[in-house]
Amino acid sequence: MHILDTFLIHYLHRFDSHCFAVELHGKSYTIGEGEPLFKVIIHEDIPKKALLSSTSLALGEAYMKKTMEIEGDLFTALKCILSQSSQFSLDKGALGRILYTPESKSNQKKQVSSHYDLGNDFYQLWLDPSMSYSCAYFKNDTDTLEQAQHNKVHYILEKLHLQKGMTLLDIGCGWGYLLIEAAKKYGIKGYGCTLSQEQWKKGQERIQQMGLTGQVQIDLVDYRDLLQEGKTYDRIVSVGMLEHVGRSNYGLYMETASHLLKEGGLFLLHYISGHDESVSNPWMRKYIFPGGTLPSLREIISRAYDNEFQVLDVESLRRHYYKTLMCWYHNFQGVRDQVIASRGEEFARMWDLYLCGCAVSFYIGNIDLHQILMTKGTNNDLPMTRWY
């Protein structure tokens, strides 16, 4: 056996909790005991230095470039490997440029644009018609993705206890679906902000089409600049945006939300959460969400109380996000040939890995999704029950 083969097979044995086969240079190997659940076919050597620097980056790039293929179900393969993520190698010193990027306004705008400005035509291929790109809420097993996204938005709006004439700020409003639904059902005046040119453009079209000009407004502006407008709001919501704020800005983010919210107002924060305060997925940061950071629940709760908020309710929707991502993954498989034709196979394999890998991560509990409902100061006029 070649010395590089010896190292690679030896390295893969650290993931032996589940049995899988490996084909390398025409030879077959078995990792773990039992019947293999899938086969890893390696066409080209994966450098030892790359594996020791970052397992996720080395294996992720090998999969993208098709120098490594999975024979069998991708979800099963990723579940077996990601459930043993404690065995991953990570040299944070060597990957500092990826793991620790500047969290300035200008840099974060570029980072957000790199993902969300891939084009509305791309996202329309596999998202549901509402263009919701965050965790859905499945009330029933039979709910379609479109129904579940509708459920999610109205579940949030119910938690916010909106009344006609209230003002609602959506920080990181995406394509504007939540604001439009809130305006239609509750008669609120909605304001949204985004850093994505493509989302802003689509949002303007939707507002016009729904006849909501003057009632719903979306601006291309950083949340940090909202204070300059001198407005305050009855309610604030933020869905899937906190992940782009950056750890050094959490205090500023919560302070800004507090200043923008009227006394007694409600703030609902919906975000992907990590179990701790580490930064540990260089593949995701390099290829999918540059600068993306998952806040832990404890640090956000702590920041809330530092900024005049009282937490009313905390809910995990982890399993709902697993199901959402599986819907997106299956939708993506249905349009994969179109994506390859326009963007290349490496891009398509990258998104296969991203969507399926995230589904696995939520399924096995490596990451979570939390909704935190909080009030600024004390508000005793709200119902004392959950909103189901």
- Please, are residues 37 and 76 in contact by the beta-carbon 8 Å criterion? yes
Calculate Rg over the CA atoms of the chain.
Answer: 22
Query: Please, which residues have CB within 8 angstroms of residue 129's CB and are 6 or more apart in sequence?
Result: 146
Query: Please, which residues have CB within 8 angstroms of residue 370's CB and are 6 or more apart in sequence?
Result: 269, 270, 271, 273, 297, 300, 314, 315, 316, 317
Catalytic residue annotation: 358
CA-CA-CA-CA torsion sign (6, 9, 11, 13):
negative
